[in-house]
Amino acid sequence: MAERSEASWLQRFEALPIIIVYALLLALFMYLSPGVFLAPYMYTTFLSTLPPLILLATGLTFVIGAGEIDLCFPSIIAFSGFIFAVLFKEYELSWLAVVAGLASGILVGFVNGLIIAKVGIPSFMTTLGTQFFWAGMATVLSGGKSYALRGAEESSVWQWIVGRPFASSSVDWLQQISIQALWTAIIVGFLWLILTRHRFGEHTLFIGDSNDVSRVVGIDVDREKIKIFTLMGFLAACAAIILTLENKNFFGNQGQGYLLTAIASVLIGGTSIFGGRATILGTVFGCLIIGMIEAGLVAAGLTGAWVRTVQGLIFLIAIIFYMYADEPQRRRALLARMGFTGKFGGARAAGSEGTALKRTKS
Amino acid sequence: MRLSTLLLVGAAACAVAAVAGRASAADPIGKGLTMYMQMGGNPGDGATLARQTGAKQAAEALGVDLKEQFSKWAPETMIAQFKEAMAAKPSCIEIMGHPGSAAFHDLVKQAVDQGIVVTSGNAPLTDLQNEFGPKGFGYAGVDLYAGGALTAKAMLAQGLKAGDEAAVWGKFGSAERAISETGLAETLEKAGLKVERLVITQEVDSDASLGVPQFAAYIQAHPNLKAIGTQHGSVTGVMPEALKKAGKKPGEIILGGIDLAPATIDGLKSGYISATLDQLLYLQGFIPVVQCVMTAKYKMPGLSLNTGAGTVTPKTIDALTKLIDAGIR
């Protein structure tokens, strides 16, 4: 009984285990590098560098929550980034370039969804193929060249999307706060509401639990999947435009470094890789951990080869901690295996009836 | 003043001088300085290891607290890492030039305005050197065009002639980084060779072994190919494997590359690699640390060092093998 109340306490707050992991990690870095992590500058830096990762990971939370995967989004960052950069620089189309960049991402995402839902090709294979295709298109169209957006900071597009609203402040760290953090917070907050309060979010998790059960209860699975991948394309295009404007440069290979980091952020945040369970708040904290970890380890004085080793270790610890903190039945099974059967009795094997079935019953 | 007082003051002065002398001898010149340094690819890879060694040994010798950053050669990662480094408020930051001057300009200005010494390596940022040179913005790396041309000349010296077909793999389109391959290709063209320029993809840039099948396929599809050039260290290392897979014998195709990674040494010894530009990566690690100390402590301006000193051929490789294995050459 005591354990049941403990479990409900842990589960009452969304993503609490990963928030605890984040807080512990932050405290560790503050202890190891007080000059860096007790000053505001690193955090204002994260406000400008993390928004693309958070947007991508938020989109992936829907995709993975629906039991699918998207490997194409790094190429959307390259392709939409190119569309935006070339229209912005060569044709000086300003806000029309933004619209075109977003439209190109939406189009790619829509096509991905169409192939997956209507042609019936698994999302892994579809997005693997389209990943190569759109990255190739970006290279072909750009000729492998970079575009330097010199003077972009003078434009209203730059000011509104990645500007520094407190640039005239007398406090130097306030000057560095970038507005893309605000847009990202608004988008992520809205999508959190969609996932947790709207029918689309409910359908996404239903589909993640079971496509068949979802169809039985009347969900148009194909339509919802197309919507999910279109949303992912839109968010990847948002990330592309932010990245291009923030760097004042389009790089032909931009976005390639985000594939594994975005997926890792979603998974360590607590979204189930099998679908049916997703948490945007957990994803955001997963991104914060991923974004902070290398800077923290380097500041702590770890040399190159060790950084990745410790990164991997922290990922594993975070995931294991999350699983055992968030899933009481798994914790009970572990304790039973370790011989703690008295107080922690009643251990059962993890996994009982499917969540979708439970949802159906309710 | 009495003699005894004079003697006492003199003795005290000598003691203070001795202690001060001992203290200054014990404290290395760069003590108290922290430096963030971008190393390039991945820890320990052939195009990065000697730079790491040079930076580490310079930091140890000068007492600098060195923080290494690795970007897998991705330009946007280099920019993000520069921002993180700047947020840590170090004494100095060394950047790779790959993203280009336009991408780095505002960030470097911001850092320099905050009193951080910024310098560069591996690919030059000429505009930034001109603007921030007096504040310590230097460059340690190859004069890219000259380095590419030097490699091409070493290849031509192996018997290439006008009309021969050649392929040059490079980071074409990647800001100033592409200048070295351009120097290589243009020098071959000036000698009358027919040169095809081929782009190294991001996947191959990060892990050159992924490129072996495409290199081999290209070589097989071009039976008249007489020469291959690249200024990518890891691609140089894997190219002999591609030649073997394409059924070519050592020396059948003149291969000119860059750096002295372990795989490149094997390629030189087996005769598959005809010449490789030695860009002295060790110095590309060592000199920026010296630059950091000289500017932070003595306000010296940025120095430019061309580390593209010459090429290594199968005839000259043996004397360097031990140093290469030690991660120095």
Residue scoring higher pLDDT (A304 or B51) = B51
| Span A12-46, pLDDT tens digits | 788 888 898 899 999 999 999 998 999 999 999 99
pLDDT(B183) > 90:
yes
CA pair distance B325, B329, nearest whole angstrom: 8
Cβ B172–A144 below 8 Å, yes or no?
yes
Cβ A303–B174 below 8 Å, yes or no?
no
The beta-carbon neighbor of B87 closest among A41, A144, A145 is: A41
Could you tell me whether strands B304-306 and B139-141 are parallel, antiparallel, or unpaired per DSSP bridges? Answer: parallel
Which residues lie across from B38 on neighbouring strands?
Answer: B69
**The one-letter amino acid at A182:** L
Return residues 269-328 of B near A (CB < 8 Å): none
CA pair distance A297, B36, nearest whole angstrom: 13
Q: Which letter does DSSP use for residue B177 in this model?
A: G
Q: What percent of chain B has pLDDT over 70?
A: 90
**The one-letter amino acid at A295:** A
Q: Which of A24-28, A103-107, A341-345 has the highest mean pLDDT?
A: A103-107
Q: Which of A30, A249, A307, A308 to mutate to test the interface with B (most CBs of B within 10 A)?
A: A249
Mean pLDDT calculated for residue range B226-232? 95
| Span A218-241, pLDDT tens digits | 999 999 999 999 999 999 999 999
CB contact B104 to A (< 8 Å): no
Are the C-beta atoms of B142 and B193 separated by less than 8 Å? Answer: no
The two tokens of residue B73 are: 């050669």
Query: Is the C-alpha dihedral spanning A182, A131, A272, A285 positive or negative?
Result: negative
Distance (Å) from the alpha carbon of A317 to chain B's nearest alpha carbon: 24
Q: Mean pLDDT for chain B?
A: 87
| CATH homologous superfamily, domain B34-142+280-308 | Response regulator (3.40.50.2300)
CB contact B198 to A (< 8 Å): no
Band (pLDDT 50/70/90 cuts) for residue B9 is: very low
Going through chain B in order, the beta strands assigned E by DSSP cover 34-40, 65-70, 92-96, 117-121, 139-141, 165-170, 194-199, 225-230, 254-258, 275-278, 304-306, 310-312
Cβ B74–A256 below 8 Å, yes or no?
yes
Instruction: Return the CATH fold of B144-278.
Output: Rossmann fold (3.40.50)
Q: Mean pLDDT for chain A?
A: 87
Are the C-beta atoms of A127 and A71 separated by less than 8 Å? Answer: yes
CA A157 from centre of chain: 24
Could you tell me whether strands A147-148 and A249-250 are parallel, antiparallel, or unpaired per DSSP bridges? Answer: antiparallel
Are the C-beta atoms of A167 and A175 separated by less than 8 Å? Answer: yes
The two tokens of residue B19 are: 């202690």
**Is A297 strand, coil or helix?**
helix
Q: Which letter does DSSP use for residue A117 in this model?
A: I
pLDDT(B33) > 60:
yes
**Domain residue spans of chain A:** 50-285
Cβ B70–A307 below 8 Å, yes or no?
yes
Q: For residue B263, count other CB atoms closer than 10 A to its CB.
A: 21
Are the C-beta atoms of B119 and B90 separated by less than 8 Å? Answer: no
Q: What is the pTM of this model?
A: 0.80
Band (pLDDT 50/70/90 cuts) for residue B204 is: confident
* CATH 3.40.50.2300 intervals, chain B: 34-142+280-308, 144-278
Q: What is chain B's length?
A: 329
Which residues lie across from B275 on neighbouring strands?
Answer: B256
Give every strand in the sheet of B275-278, ordered side by side.
B194-199, B165-170, B225-230, B254-258, B275-278, B310-312
DSSP code per residue over B188-256: HHHTT-EEEEEEPPHHHHH-GGGGHHHHHHHHHH-TTEEEEEE--HHHHHHHHHHHHHTTPPTTTSEEE
The two tokens of residue B161 are: 């002639």
What totals of helices (H) and strands (E) does chain B contain, helices first? 13, 12
CA pair distance B206, B202, nearest whole angstrom: 6
CB contact A296 to B (< 8 Å): no
Residue scoring higher pLDDT (A175 or A354) = A175
**The one-letter amino acid at A244:** T
Mean pLDDT calculated for residue range B63-79? 91
Residues with Cβ within 8 Å of A329's Cβ and at least 6 positions away in sequence, in order, are A348, A349, A350, A351, A352
Cβ B173–A148 below 8 Å, yes or no?
no
For residue A147, give the H/E element and its range.
Answer: strand A147-148
Measure Cα distances from B238 to B232, B258, B277, B279 in Å. 10, 12, 16, 18
Cβ A303–B203 below 8 Å, yes or no?
no
CB contact B203 to A (< 8 Å): yes
Distance (Å) from the alpha carbon of B323 to chain A's nearest alpha carbon: 21
Contacts 24+ apart (CB under 8 A), A293-296: A293/A25, A294/B84, A295/A36, A295/A42, A295/A45, A295/B84, A295/B87, A295/B88, A296/A25, A296/A28, A296/A29, A296/A32, A296/A33, A296/A36, A296/A37
CB contact A298 to B (< 8 Å): yes
Please identify which residue in the block is written with the tokens 């860009």. Answer: B279
| Span B250-287, pLDDT tens digits | 999 999 999 888 788 889 999 999 999 988 999 999 99
Least confident of A74-78, B245-249, B261-265: B261-265
Are the C-beta atoms of A310 and B80 separated by less than 8 Å? Answer: no
